[in-house]
Structures are given as structure tokens and as C-alpha cells.
Amino acid sequence: MLTFFRTNQVFYSVMLIVYILLLRFSVFTAPFQWEPSGQGVLSDLLYGWVGSQGFMAHIIAIVLLVAQGYLVNVIAINNRLSNEINLLPGLFYVWFCCAIPDFLYLSPVLVGNTFFLIALNEIFGIYKNSACADKIFNAGLWLGVASLFYFPFVFFLLVLVAGLSILRAFNLQEFLMAVVGMFLPYFFAGMLFFWFNKFVFFYENQISRNFDFFNFSQIVFTWDTWVKLAIFVIATIFVLLNNNFFFAKKNIQVQKKIDILYWVLIAAAISLPFQANVTFEHFLLLAPTLGIFFGLTFTSLKPQWAEAIHFLMVVLVLALQFVPWLL
């Protein structure tokens, strides 16, 4: 299967549709009842239109995944993150977004990742760019929109600040551009709710209900809970331990951008203890970084080994979806 994605033609990202349907087809028949958690006011609005489950919600989730996989590939190719140009980063991004059954729905994090990837693309575009005020502002703006779907994206301001410091000499004016851009969506949303005399509703539903400290009451520890945790813990440790490999044979520009991908992991970890009623969906924040790094890893493997390991990864995903039905 990986053969189809060992190409430098971004158009072939359309093949992700087949891959996504393979990993997610169980949602159309699954008895598992899922409820969104940690959503912001824009998620509430979206669910008011299409619901959190149902056929339309699943179709929107698939469309978002296709677009996100395409965007991950564009980021990886345009920024030369890999020594070999291919579409594996987008493929493994999709795999991580379907890795456990909790991810197979139109979650606030999945929607928010769309805007975060746009912001990340803007951040990468500021390197050695003297006229990048619009990119800095837009990066903050898209992060603000993402956080209106899933509040912890607020903490990804750390990624933006780190990006400014890594790719450019720190400048207070540029920092303020990013901050203003990020909180402008909150200003407009707050003003809109205030106009309709619902500002308290906005505050409670966007900030108050989403902010807590070490609240993991929604996670029930069973055997599959430990398997789900193991997937992301092992993947993250692998990425951290192999940082020398990802930096090898890369020029300074690419190394700086890889640094920023590690800051995504840091921001996701920092946001974890402050999110109220944390669920496994929070791990979707790691998907952009893990997807890109696993794409680079499988690019370096011999094709037969890459195919065999990827096949086992697909089997693991399907087993997590169907084995609980049989128990």
C-alpha cells in the first residue's frame, strides 16, 4: 500500500480517501456511543447544524482528514522536511488520526487541527522573509479560530512564539502581532455574544467549562485504555529518541522547522493538565508532529520492512475497533 504514496505528486493525496475509508468504515455500523468533550463555541455551533454523530458528521470528518493529509504533505514537501519527496507524512498523519476508536468521529480536536495546520504553514513561511507581518498575524488568527473549536489550542501560542524565536531574531512587535491575531477571534466572538446579551454564556462555554487542573475523570482504565496509551507514549518516545536521525543531513532552515515540530509536542503536553474532562481525543494534538516524523522514518526503511510494519499498524487499528465488540 505504501507504494502508492512513494511519489512526489501531491495530487495523489486523493488516494488518502481509500485509506481513510479503510480505517474508518466501522463508524457507519459501530454501536459505540461517543460524545464530544472539550469543545468550544464554534464546535457547539457545528454540532447544532450537523450533530456530533450521524452520516453527515462522518462525511465531514472524512473530508477534513483528506484536506489535512493533503496539507501535511504540502508542508512536508514545500519545506523539504524529508530527504526524499513523497506523500508518507500525510498517510501517517491520517493513521494517527484513526489510531484509536475515540478518534473516529467529528471531534473538536479534529476540526481544530485543520486551522492549526494552516497556522503551522504560515509559521514556516516566515523564515528569511522580510515582509512576513501578514503571516505572523495570520498564524495567530488561525490558532485563535482553532481554540474556539478546542480550547487547548490556546496553549499553541507557545509554538508560535517558539517559531518566531527559532526562525527569526525575537522582536516584540512581531510577538504582539501574533498575540493580537490569536485573540482577535475571541474579541469578535465575545462582542457578538455581548450584542445578544449572552457574554456570560460565551465565557462559561468557551473558557470556564474547559479549564480545570488534572481532571481525568472521563478516562476509564480498562485493557484497551492501556493499549491506546501505549500507542502514543511509544510513538512519542520513539520520536524524541530519534531526533538525531531527523536532523541528519538537513540544512539549517529545515533543522529549525523540525525544532518547531518538537515544540508542538511540548505545547500539547503543557495543555494536558489544564483541560477539563480530558479524553483520548487530546492526543490528536500530537498527530501533525507524529505523522510527519513517522513519514520520514518509513521513507528511510527498506520497502519490504516498511510495508510489513505498516500492515501490522493497520491490523492494530482495526483490531482496536472490532475486538471490543467480540468481548
Using CB atoms within 10 A of its CB, is residue 274 exposed (0-12), middle (13-18) or buried (19+)?
middle
Res 324: pLDDT: 63
How many Cα atoms within 13 Å fall on the side-chain side of residue 123?
35
Res 38: pLDDT: 67
Whole-model pTM: value is 0.93
Res 31: pLDDT: 56
Using CB atoms within 10 A of its CB, is residue 249 exposed (0-12), middle (13-18) or buried (19+)?
exposed
Beta bridge partners of 247: none
Using CB atoms within 10 A of its CB, is residue 29 exposed (0-12), middle (13-18) or buried (19+)?
exposed
| Location of C-alpha cell 518516545 | 237
* Average pLDDT per consecutive 10 residues, the chain (327 residues; last block may be shorter): 73 80 81 68 89 86 94 93 89 94 90 96 88 91 95 94 89 90 94 90 86 73 82 95 90 93 95 85 94 94 92 91 66
- The SS3 of residue 104 is coil
Res 34: pLDDT: 67
Rounded CA separation 68/94 (Å):
8
* Domain boundaries defined on the chain: 2-326
Task: Based on DSSP, count helices (H) and strands (E) in the chain, helices before strands.
Answer: 14, 0
Output DSSP code: residue 152. Answer: G
Q: For residue 148, what is its C-alpha cell?
A: 474556539
pLDDT tens for 23-79 read: 988 887 765 666 676 678 999 889 888 887 888 888 999 999 999 999 999 999 999
